Structure 1
Amino acid sequence: MPSDSGSVSSERLDASIPGAFPEGNLSQTHISTTHQSLTQALYARRAEYTRPRHVRIKVGSWNVAGLKGVEQDIAAWFVDGKGIEQSLAGLGISEPDAKDASAKESISDQEARRTSLAPTVPIHDTAAVPSNEEVGLYVLGLQEVVDISSATEALRPYTDPSVANKWKTSIATALPNGYRLVAEQQLIGLLLLVYASPEVHPHIKSVSTTSVGTGLMGYMGNKGAVTARIVLGETTRLVFVNSHLSAGADKTSLERRNWDASQITSRTRFDPITDAMDLNQGHGEGIGDEDFAFWFGDLNYRLEGMPGEDVRRLLTVHTRSYDQDTAEDAKDNASTSGDSGYSSKRDSEDAIPLPPELDPSSLHTTIKSLLPHDELRQQQKAGKAFHDGWEEGPIRFLPTYKYDVGKVGVFDSSEKRRGPSWCDRILYRTRASRHQYSLKAKELEAARKKDEEMKAKGLDHAADDEDVLYDYDPDTDGDKNDSYDEYDEQEDPEPEIVPTKAGFSDEFVLETYSSHMRVISSDHKPLEAVFSLKYDAVIPELKTGIHQEVARELDRQENEGRPSVTLVVDRSTGVATPENKDTTESSFDGVDFGDVAFGKSKRRNITIANTGRVPATFGFTDRPVDKSQPEGVFPPWLRVRFDREPDGPANSSSNGLVEEYTLEAGDVCSAELKLKVDSPDMVRLLNEGTSCLDEVLVLRVNDGRDHFLPLRAHWVPSTLTRTVDKLIKIPEGGIRKLQHQKPDCEGVRWSVPREIFRLTEVLEDMTERTLAEWDMTGHEVDQENAPWQHNAAWPFVSQVKEEEDEEVVAGIIEALDCDEPFERAFPATMRPKTRLEYVAETLLLFLRSLQDGVITKSLWEKLEEGIATREKSKQQLDRDDEKMWALEILATAPNHNATFLLLISVLQNITNQIAEAGKSDPSTPRASTDLPASPRASVRRRTLSKIPDIALRQLIHRNYATVIADVVFRGTSAEKMREKDRAVRKERMIKVVELFLKNEDDGTA
C-alpha cells in the first residue's frame, strides 16, 4: 500500500523540531494537533523573529590555595586583563607596545613589594586580553577558597556565605556599571560566579546551578564540581563546569581523576527548561544536552614519565631575567629552580631571529617536547577521560603549577619540590564536536562487530580477501585525539559553525588562551580563555507578532464548509475613563484586563457569532499549559459566564468540552470574563514573579477549528503573602512604591509591620465607634441583637457577606498596599458595625497570608517542645513563670514578638470594651449560664466563672484564642499529621494565646 506522503512529511518535521510532542500525544486530542501545527508553523518562521547577537565570553580559573588576600588580584587579571607576560603568554597575545613595556614594573620590584593587603600585579601594567566592556559574560571558577586540607572544612555539608561575599564584592567593584550576577554556586572550596553585561543580561533565561561532590567517600565536597546552565536568547544553551579533581602523581590518583570526571558528568542535572518553541521538556538536562560547554578548574593532571627535577631545570631556562646586569648570575644558576623572572636571553640585534618552532632553545620547542607527557592529553587519546568531543586551545604558556607564593617564575622550592605541570585547564566542547564523536564511535563499534563476525567465520585480514569489508585494530582504532600530534599550534583557529539544539547555526571561536604569570599571590597561576560567540536571539516582540500572524493564517486555511464561529473582543470595555485608566485601547489581539489587584474583579465581554452556514456547537476546552501551571479549562483566577444556558448538564464530552453551546447560522451569544485574584497562594506566586496573568483560552468548535483567545493582565504588588522581615522594611507609601525594587533592599523601618499596625489601630477605633453607636441607638433600634450578645467570637466571626459588598476586603487591602485611608474602601452608607467586621476579616486574612507567620515554625517548635515536655512530666508552671518562659523564646525573633504582643494587646482592649458595654446594656445576660454562643471554641459552661462579667471575658478570650491560633502560628503541614495529633497541636496553640490574653482577675477558663 502506498504511504501517505503528507503523513510521512509531518512525522519527519516532528522529528526534526527540538522539543516536539512525543508520539503518544499526537493523537490524544484535537487541541494537541492544533497546538502542534501552530507551533510548527511558528518554528518554521523562526528567522523572522530572531536577530544575530555577538557575545564575548571570558572564562577564568584559579586555585587560590586558601590563602588570604588573593581576592585583591581578581580585578586586575580577570576583569582588567593584566598580569600577563606577553613573551610567554599563549594564544592570541601580541607583543606589548615598547612604551608600555618600559613603563611596567620590573619583576624584582614587584616581588619585593608583594603583600596580602594589595594587588600583586605589576604597576603600570596594561590589558593584554579583552577586558571590561569588551566582555559580555564573565565566568569565574575558583578552587580552594577555603582550606580543604582541613578535615573540618572538607566535611562541612554547607557553604559559608562570607567566603563567597568577599569575592563577589571584589568583582562587583571592578566590573563596569550595569554588570549583574546571573549565576552563583559554591561547594566548600569551589566557587562559580557568572556575570553578564547590561546588553547580554536581558537575553539570559533558564538559569540553573548545581553541584556534585566526589571527594571523601565519593560524595563529599572537598573535590567535585559546581555547574551552571544558562540559555542565551532562548536559542543557545551554555554550560559552565568548575571542577577540582583528585590530586597526586601516582597511577591510582590518575584513575581517580578520571572517575571524578565521569561522576560529575553522570550526576549533574539541571532544572527543566522551555525550548525555543515554548514546549516544556518535562525532565532535567545534564552535561551533554547543551550547545556549548566549558569545563575548567584544577584538573590536577600531571606530566607522566618525567622526573620533576628535570622539568624544573628545563623550564627554568625560560624564567631567567631580562635584566642585563643579572644575566650572568642567571646563567650560573640555570640548573637550580630558585631564579625569578622570565625568558631566555635574546639573540643579538645583528642575528637573524629564528621562528620559535625552528629554534631548539625557544619556549615553543620546550613546551612542545613536554606536552606528549601531559596526562590529560594521554587520557583523551586513550579514550578514558574528556575524549567525547572536548577540545583545548593550544598551550603556549608555562605550566600553571607549582610556584613559590610571591615569586613570578620560581618553581616549588619547598622540601617536596613538586614537578611543574599544567594542572589548571580550560576545555570546551560544542554540540557539533560531540555529535562528530558519537558518529565516529558508532562507526568504530560497527566496524568492531563486523570484524568479530568475520573472524568467527574463519576469515582473516588478508588484503586479497574481497569478503572482508572491515578491519578493526583495537590498538590503533579509536584514537580520536590523534590530531594532537599533527596539530599546528601556531595556527590560530578559525570560527566554527555549530548547529544548536534549537535549530540555529552559531559561530564559535577561541580568541585567547593564556596564563597570568605576573600574578604571584597563589602557588597556581590564573588561567583564562576568551571565546567569541555569534548566536541568534529571539526578540519577544517580533515573536509575538509572528505568532499572531501564524494563528490568523491557520484560521484562514480552515475548511469553510465546516462549522465556524467568529470570536470578537468587546472593545467598549477597553475605553479609557478617569476611573478606569488601565483599560486603554491597544494593538493587543485579545482580552486585556489592565492592572489587577488582590480581590478586585475585572470584567470583559466577548461575542461569539456563528458566521458559517450550519449550526455550530462549541465550548471552552483544556488549555495547553506546561506542568508548572494548573490544568483545566480556565485558570483559577478566571470565571466565564455565558448569556444562555448550555445544551445539557455539565459533563466532559468526547471533544473535551465541559459545557457545550449551539448557535444556529447567523446567531450570536456573548460571555462575560471575570478576573479575580483572591487566593493567597496565587498572590504569592504573582508577587514573586514565578507566575503571571497571561493565558490563552481555547474555544473548540465541534468538527471545526479551534480559536485561541489570549488573555493578559498586569499584576500590581500586594503586601499579602510577604514575610514579617520584608514588611518591616517597606517605607511609607506602601508596597506599590517599590514597583522596581525589592523590599529587602531597604533598611528596617518598623518594629511591627505597618500594615498590621494600621489594621489593629482601625480595629480598635471601629470597635469603640460601634459600641458607642449601639449605646446611643441600639437599645431602641435593635434591642434583641447586640453584636456581642449572640456571638462570643464577634467581630472576628460574623455574617457580613453581601453581594454588593464582596470587594470591601479587597478595598481595605488596596488601602494597605497604597498607604491610603481606609474610608474609600467602605460605601458611605455602611454602618460602623459592618465596617468593623470587614476590618476584622481583613486582619485575619492578612495574618493567614504571612509566609512565615507571626509565630514562625522554628519558634512554635521550641514552644511545643516545652509544652509537650511539661505535659509528659505532668509539671505545671505558675502562669507568670510560663508566660516569661514563652516570652524568652519569642524574644529571639524581636519583630515577630512585637507583632504578637501587639495583637494580644488589641484583643485584650476589644474584650474590655465589649465587657464594659455589656455592663451598661440591659439586654446583656447577667447570669453565667446565659452567655453568648461560642461559634469557634468548644467551651464547657460549668468551667466558667460564676461571676457573669468574668465568665463573659473567659468565653471571649477562648474564642479569640481559637480564631487567632488559626492564623498566627506556622508549623508542620497538617496534611502530614494524624487527626488526633492535629487536635492536640491546635489545643496547645490556643493555650499559648490564652496564656497572654487572660487577665489576673479572669480566673481559670
Structure 2
Amino acid sequence: MSTKAPSVRSTGYLDAQIPGAFPDARSPSIASITTHQTSLSQALYDRRAEYTRPRNVRIKVGTWNTGSQKGTEQDVGAWFVKGKGVEEAMAGLGVSGPEGSADHREGVQAQEARHARFAPTVPHHDSASVPGGEEIGMYVLGLQEIVDITSATEALRPYTDPSVAKKWKASLEAALPKGYQFVAEQQLIGLWLVIYASPEISPQIKNVSTTSVGTGLMGYMGNKGAVTTRIVLGETTRLVFINSHLAAGADKASLDRRIWDTAQINSRTRFDPIVDSLGSSQTQGEGLGDEEFAFWFGDLNFRLEGMDGDDVRRLLTIHTKDLDHDGEGRPSTSGDSGYGSKASLEEDRMPVPPELDPASLQTTIASLLPHDELHQQMKKGIAFHDGWEEGPVRFLPSYKYDIGKVGVFDSSEKRRCPSWCDRILYRTRASKQRYDEKAKEKEAANKKDQEMRAKGMDLAGDEDILFDYDPDTDGDNTAFEEYEEDEVPEPEQVTTKDGLSDEILLEYYTTHMRVLSSDHKPLDAVFSLKYDAVVPDLKTAIHGEVVRELDRQENEGRPSIAVVVDRATGHSSSEDQDKTDSTYEGVDFGDVKYAKSKKRAITIANTGRVPATFGFADRPVDHEQDPGPFPSWLSVTFDREADKPDRPKPDDVHERYTLEPAGVINAELKLKIESVSTVRDLNDSANTLDEVLVIRVENGRDHFLPLRAHWLPSTLARTVDKLVKIPEGGIRKLQNQIPDRGEVKWSVPREIFRLTEAIEDMTERTLAEWDMTKGEGEKAPFKDNAGWPFVKSHKISKGAKIHREEELAGLYDALDCDTPFTAAFDPETRTKERVELLAEVLLTFLSSLTDGIITKSLWEKLEEGLVTRERSKQTLAPDDEKMWALEILATAPSHNASFLLLLSFLQNITNQITDASKPKPETPRTSVDLPASPEVKVRRRTLSKVPEVAIRQLITRNYAVVFADALFRSKEEARTKEKDRAVRKERMVRVIELFLDTGDD
C-alpha cells in the first residue's frame, strides 16, 4: 500500500475542520450498506476451511511522549526499529540482553556526557534486546507531543501541521528494512500514529480506516484525545490501534477527566464500512469493540495515587544508583534517600529470588503497583475494565526523568512523583465477550434484586436467608495479577466474528531506559499473532460454486412460469398472416387500422414445482397519460376467473391468477385503436405501438412480454387544409406523406363529399323501402328519433354489436383507401342500418378534424358579432345574418365550402324525411304526430301547427345540436363555467339553424 487510506472525518458542531470535533448527529450515514443473503453468507462460512490458510505475524507496538523536544526523531529508529536502548536489568517481560553485550556497550556516564540535542542518545555499540528489523511484520508507532501542545497557537490551530510528521517518517523509513511499506497514518495536533508492514504482510492488509477524537480544550480540541486506525488482516481479522494522550495532573479532578476522555474516545470513534474481496459491504460504520484485537497505548497519564513523590523517588533511586558500572553510583534525587549503596547491602546477603527479595526491583514495583490509578480504575470497573489487559509491569516508571539522564527522576522544583504514565494495553474479542456476558448477568441480578425489593422483601434485614454480596470485590483477594518469574505465557485463543480461530501472545513488554532525549522513556511491546487469512482466489472460486448451488436450489423451490405466444391463431385474414414476423419474440399484431380489432393469444404455464401466483404489473415506463398495466388500446381476457382478493397484493399488481404445477391458463390480447388523440399521435409519429407488459410472479422473477404493431395512416385527426390536398386513392396511397405546400385537389375534403353523397343516397333508399313496407306496420326510421340517422336510439345485441364494429372498421378503411363503402357492408345488412353506420362515420370524421370546419379564429369572429347584437338587443333579418356569417367564413375558402356543403347536405336529409312524413292525399291528418327528440327538449307550443313544418323544426333543431360539437372549435378554458359553455353551445346551434331554416315556420 503506497497511499494513505481515506480517514473518517468527524463533523463538529462548532467547526467541521477542527480535528477531533464532536460528530454531528444530524449528518447522514457514512455509506449506504448492502448485505448478502443469509443463506449465501452461511454457505460460504461453512466452507471457510477451503479458502483460509494459517498465517503468523509479529506486531511491534511502540509509544513515546517526546515532550515536544527537538531532535527526538533521531532516536526512534534505534529503539523502535532496531530494539536498542534497553537496560536489561530493569527491562521487564521477555528481555534478557545478549551475552557479553554490556562489555562493549557505552557506559551511562559517557552516554550522558555526550548528550546533544540533535544527535542520537542511545548507547554506542548497543545490541538489540527486543526483536526488530525483519523479525517484525508490522510496526505500529504512537507518539505524543510531537508539537508543543501547551502552546495556545498549536492547540487552537484548526488544522494539523504535517511537516513535523514528515521528519519522523523520514527517520523511521531510513531505519526500516528494505521493502517495508507505509500502511496508514493519522495526526491530531501533537498526536501521531503511523503503521508500516513487511512485503509479505502488506498485501494482506485491506479496509484501512483512520479517525481522530479530540477531548482537550472545551471537550473537542486536539491537544488531548486519540488517533485511531482500523485494518483488516487477510479479510478475517480486524485490528484496531489507538494512540491516546489523556488529561494530565495528579489530583482527583484530573483523574476524573482522564476517565471522561476514555469514555469519549470509546463512544465517538467510528470507522468506514468493511468491503470484502467480492466487493460486498460487510458492515456499517463500526466503533470500538467490534474488532478481533485492539491495542490502546500512549501517555494515559495515570499516576500513583496517594504516594509522596520524595518517598517514591527515594525508593526507586536505590535501583538506579548503580546503573553506571564504570562509576561510583548515581546521586540521589530525593534529598536524603535513607539508604546505603546497593553494593553494601548485598555484601552479607544470601542470594534469593527477586520476588522474595525485599530489596529487589520487582519487590519495589510490586509494592507500588497497588497504588497505580490505572489498575485501580480497571478493578473498580470505571475505565479499561471491559476486557482490556496489560502485560506484567516489571520495569521502572516511564515518567518523569531529567532529560539527558538515564535514571535520574525529576530533579526540578516540582519534583514530580515517578509514575507509569505510558502504557500499552490490549484486548481480544474473547475478553470483550466475557465482559459483556458478565455485565448481562450482573444486570439481570440487579433487576431481580429490585423486583424482590418491590415485593417488600428486606434483603439487608433478613440475615438468616440472604447475605450481602458485591461481585466487584468478593472473591478477589488480589489487587493486581502477579506473575511468576519463570512463568511461560500461553497464547490466548480468539474466535473471530467470522468463526475462525486466532491466537495472540504478548512476547515482550519493556521500556528503553537508555533513551535520553525526552522526560518520558519509550515503551514498546511485541505481540505474536496467528490468524486464518483468506486466500482471495480460493474464496472467489468457492463463492462461485456456492452461488451456483444456491441458485440451483432456489430455482427448484421458486415459482416459475413460461409464456408462449400462439402464432397460429387470432389472424383475421391471410393478409394479416403475411405481415407478421414469425421470428419476433413477443406479440406482433401486424398492420393496425382505426376501429379494427386485432387479437392474439398467449398461453401461460407453471413450469415449476410449486404453485405460481402471477398478475400483470404496471409497466416499467412512466406512463403519466396512460397508467396501468396495459395501454388504453389493449385489453386482456383470461379463460378463467381471477383469484379472490383474500389477501393483500402489491400496489402495482392487478388481478392475480394462481396455477398449480403443470397448470395452464390462456389469455386473449385485443388491440383496438378508438381514441382520436391516439390516432393523432400515431399519424404524427409522436407515438408508436411498441409496448412491454410486465408479468409479475410472486417470489419469482418478472417476465416481460413485448408488443408491437404497424400503424396504417388514417384520414382522421387531420386538418381541412391537408385533406384537400390528398388526391384520389386516399391517405394510404401516399403513405402518410402529405406535402405542407402543394396543389389543392379539392374545394372540400374528398371524404366529406363521399360520405355526404353516400348518406343522402342511403337515406333516400331507406325511406323508399319504408314507404313500400309501411302498410305492413313497419315504423318510419325517424318515428322514434328526430335526430335520425345521426343519433342512435336503440340498443343492439352483443352479436349484432360485434358485427356492427366490423362494418364500421370496414367503412373507416374504405374512407382511408378511397374505395367504395358498399364493400364494407355485409349483404344481409339493411339499408337503414347502413345509413346509420355511415352517419356515425361522418360525425366521427368531423369531430376528429384538428382545426374543425369552423376554426377557433372563425368562431371568435362569429361569436363576437353574436354577443354584440345580444347586448344591444339588435335583430337582423335571417338573410342579412347569413350574409354577415358568410363574409366571415369566406376568409377560409376550404372551410367555408365544407360548411356550406354540410349544411346543404343536412337540408337535403331534412327535406327527404319531411317529405316522407307527409301523409298521402287520401289520408288526411287530423293531429300532429311528432317524432321523439332525443338531443333536445322542444316545447310543443313553440312548434308550428302544420305537422310537416313541426317535424322539420324538430329535425333541424336536433341536427343543429348534434353537428354543433362536430363542426365548431373554440378556446375552452379550464375555468369556464358550465353555464357559459351552455350559452356558447346555443350560439353555435343558432348559426347552424340559421342556414337550415327555410322560413316556412
With normalisation by structure 1, the TM-score equals 0.51
Relative to structure 1, the CA distance from residue 647 to residue 247 in structure 2 (aligned partners, 3 Å threshold; closer, same or farther) is farther
- Residue 144 of structure 2: aligned partner: 143
CA contact (8 A) 1:451 1:472 kept: no
- Residue 93 of structure 2: aligned partner: 91
* 1:334 to partner: Cα distance: 4.7
- Residue 443 of structure 2: aligned partner: 445
**Alpha-carbon separation, structure 1, partners of 2:122 and 2:336:** 20
Relative to structure 1, the CA distance from residue 198 to residue 481 in structure 2 (aligned partners, 3 Å threshold; closer, same or farther) is farther
* 1:465 to partner: Cα distance: 4.8
2:490 to 473, 489, 494: 494
CA contact (8 A) 1:322 1:345 kept: no
- Residue 296 of structure 1: aligned partner: 297
Deviations 1:825-865 (A, max 9, x none): xxxxxxxxxxxxxxxxxxxxxxxxxxxxxxxxxxxxxxxxx
1:516 to 506, 512, 515: 512
- Residue 77 of structure 2: aligned partner: 75
- Residue 107 of structure 1: aligned partner: 108
* 1:563 to partner: Cα distance: 7.5
**Alignment root-mean-square deviation, CA:** 4.6
SS of equivalent residue, structure 1 residue 123 = coil
Letter in 2 for 1:315: L
Letter in 2 for 1:219: Y
**Alpha-carbon separation, structure 2, partners of 1:700 and 1:557:** 23
**Alpha-carbon separation, structure 2, partners of 1:483 and 1:700:** 72
Verify: 1:384 aligned to 2:382, yes or no: yes
CA contact (8 A) 1:381 1:480 kept: no
- Residue 45 of structure 1: aligned partner: 47
* 1:700 to partner: Cα distance: 12
CA contact (8 A) 1:381 1:481 kept: no
- Residue 62 of structure 1: aligned partner: 64
1:552 to 534, 538, 548: 548
* 1:533 to partner: Cα distance: 0.9
**Alpha-carbon separation, structure 1, partners of 2:472 and 2:36:** 54
- Residue 404 of structure 1: aligned partner: 402
CA contact (8 A) 2:398 2:522 kept: yes
Relative to structure 1, the CA distance from residue 51 to residue 485 in structure 2 (aligned partners, 3 Å threshold; closer, same or farther) is closer
CA contact (8 A) 2:214 2:225 kept: yes
CA contact (8 A) 2:60 2:139 kept: yes
* 1:489 to partner: Cα distance: 6.7
Number of residues of Structure 1 aligned to a counterpart in Structure 2: 572
CA contact (8 A) 1:564 1:701 kept: no
**Alpha-carbon separation, structure 2, partners of 1:350 and 1:490:** 26
CA contact (8 A) 1:208 1:228 kept: yes
**Alpha-carbon separation, structure 2, partners of 1:137 and 1:123:** 26
* 1:390 to partner: Cα distance: 1.0
* 1:436 to partner: Cα distance: 1.0
**Alpha-carbon separation, structure 2, partners of 1:495 and 1:53:** 15
- Residue 243 of structure 1: aligned partner: 244
**Alpha-carbon separation, structure 2, partners of 1:525 and 1:558:** 63
SS of equivalent residue, structure 2 residue 61 = strand
**Alpha-carbon separation, structure 2, partners of 1:210 and 1:704:** 43
Relative to structure 1, the CA distance from residue 464 to residue 557 in structure 2 (aligned partners, 3 Å threshold; closer, same or farther) is same
**Alpha-carbon separation, structure 1, partners of 2:481 and 2:175:** 41
1:373 to 358, 365, 371: 371
1:301-450 pair list within 5 angstroms: 301-321=302-322, 326-327=327-328, 330=330, 333-334=331-332, 336=334, 344-345=342-343, 353-450=351-448
* 1:130 to partner: Cα distance: 1.2
Relative to structure 1, the CA distance from residue 347 to residue 545 in structure 2 (aligned partners, 3 Å threshold; closer, same or farther) is farther
- Residue 129 of structure 2: aligned partner: 128
CA contact (8 A) 2:314 2:336 kept: no
Which deviates further from its counterpart, 112-121 or 522-531?
112-121
CA contact (8 A) 1:275 1:502 kept: no
* 1:185 to partner: Cα distance: 0.6
* 1:271 to partner: Cα distance: 1.4
SS of equivalent residue, structure 1 residue 148 = coil
Verify: 1:543 aligned to 2:542, yes or no: no
Verify: 1:472 aligned to 2:472, yes or no: no
CA contact (8 A) 1:563 1:615 kept: yes
Deviations 1:922-956 (A, max 9, x none): xxxxxxxxxxxxxxxxxxxxxxxxxxxxxxxxxxx
**Alpha-carbon separation, structure 1, partners of 2:652 and 2:370:** 66
CA contact (8 A) 2:558 2:610 kept: no
The percentage of aligned residue pairs carrying the same residue is 65
1:169-208 pair list within 5 angstroms: 169-208=170-209
Deviations 1:460-491 (A, max 9, x none): 4689855x5x85337735x9895615555763
Relative to structure 1, the CA distance from residue 484 to residue 463 in structure 2 (aligned partners, 3 Å threshold; closer, same or farther) is farther
CA contact (8 A) 2:377 2:384 kept: yes
CA contact (8 A) 2:45 2:498 kept: no
CA contact (8 A) 2:107 2:325 kept: no
Letter in 1 for 2:225: G
Deviations 1:953-996 (A, max 9, x none): xxxxxxxxxxxxxxxxxxxxxxxxxxxxxxxxxxxxxxxxxxxx
Letter in 1 for 2:489: P
Relative to structure 1, the CA distance from residue 67 to residue 43 in structure 2 (aligned partners, 3 Å threshold; closer, same or farther) is same
CA contact (8 A) 2:35 2:281 kept: no
Relative to structure 1, the CA distance from residue 563 to residue 482 in structure 2 (aligned partners, 3 Å threshold; closer, same or farther) is same
**Alpha-carbon separation, structure 2, partners of 1:299 and 1:148:** 16
* 1:432 to partner: Cα distance: 1.1
**Alpha-carbon separation, structure 2, partners of 1:656 and 1:46:** 42
SS of equivalent residue, structure 2 residue 480 = helix
* 1:513 to partner: Cα distance: 0.4
**Alpha-carbon separation, structure 1, partners of 2:188 and 2:356:** 46
Deviations 1:265-323 (A, max 9, x none): 11111112236996535631111111111111111111111110111111011112355
* 1:36 to partner: Cα distance: 3.6
Deviations 1:126-169 (A, max 9, x none): 11111111111111000000011111111111111111100111
**Alpha-carbon separation, structure 1, partners of 2:505 and 2:187:** 29
**Alpha-carbon separation, structure 1, partners of 2:635 and 2:541:** 37
Relative to structure 1, the CA distance from residue 186 to residue 38 in structure 2 (aligned partners, 3 Å threshold; closer, same or farther) is same
Deviations 1:565-624 (A, max 9, x none): 99xxxxxxxxxxxxxxxxxxxxxxxxxxxxxxxxxxxxxxxxxxx9979999999xxxxx
1:336-735 pair list within 5 angstroms: 336=334, 344-345=342-343, 353-456=351-454, 457-460=456-459, 465=464, 468=466, 471-473=468-470, 476=473, 484=480, 488=484, 491-557=487-553
SS of equivalent residue, structure 1 residue 369 = helix
**Alpha-carbon separation, structure 2, partners of 1:106 and 1:247:** 33
Letter in 1 for 2:469: Y
Relative to structure 1, the CA distance from residue 216 to residue 34 in structure 2 (aligned partners, 3 Å threshold; closer, same or farther) is closer
Relative to structure 1, the CA distance from residue 486 to residue 175 in structure 2 (aligned partners, 3 Å threshold; closer, same or farther) is closer
Question: What are the ranges of 5 or more consecutive residues in structure 1 without an aligned counterpart?
Answer: 1-31, 567-609, 620-631, 634-645, 658-664, 666-698, 708-1005
* 1:555 to partner: Cα distance: 4.2
Relative to structure 1, the CA distance from residue 481 to residue 225 in structure 2 (aligned partners, 3 Å threshold; closer, same or farther) is farther
- Residue 287 of structure 2: aligned partner: 286
Deviations 1:893-939 (A, max 9, x none): xxxxxxxxxxxxxxxxxxxxxxxxxxxxxxxxxxxxxxxxxxxxxxx
Structure of higher CA gyration radius: 2
CA contact (8 A) 2:277 2:536 kept: no
Relative to structure 1, the CA distance from residue 148 to residue 49 in structure 2 (aligned partners, 3 Å threshold; closer, same or farther) is same
- Residue 163 of structure 2: aligned partner: 162
**Alpha-carbon separation, structure 2, partners of 1:614 and 1:38:** 22
**Alpha-carbon separation, structure 1, partners of 2:392 and 2:306:** 22
* 1:446 to partner: Cα distance: 2.5
With normalisation by structure 2, the TM-score equals 0.52
Letter in 1 for 2:163: S
Relative to structure 1, the CA distance from residue 454 to residue 552 in structure 2 (aligned partners, 3 Å threshold; closer, same or farther) is closer
Which deviates further from its counterpart, 275-284 or 370-379?
275-284
**Alpha-carbon separation, structure 1, partners of 2:35 and 2:317:** 70
- Residue 717 of structure 1: aligned partner: none
Deviations 1:347-385 (A, max 9, x none): 979975311101111000000000011111111112221
Relative to structure 1, the CA distance from residue 337 to residue 514 in structure 2 (aligned partners, 3 Å threshold; closer, same or farther) is farther
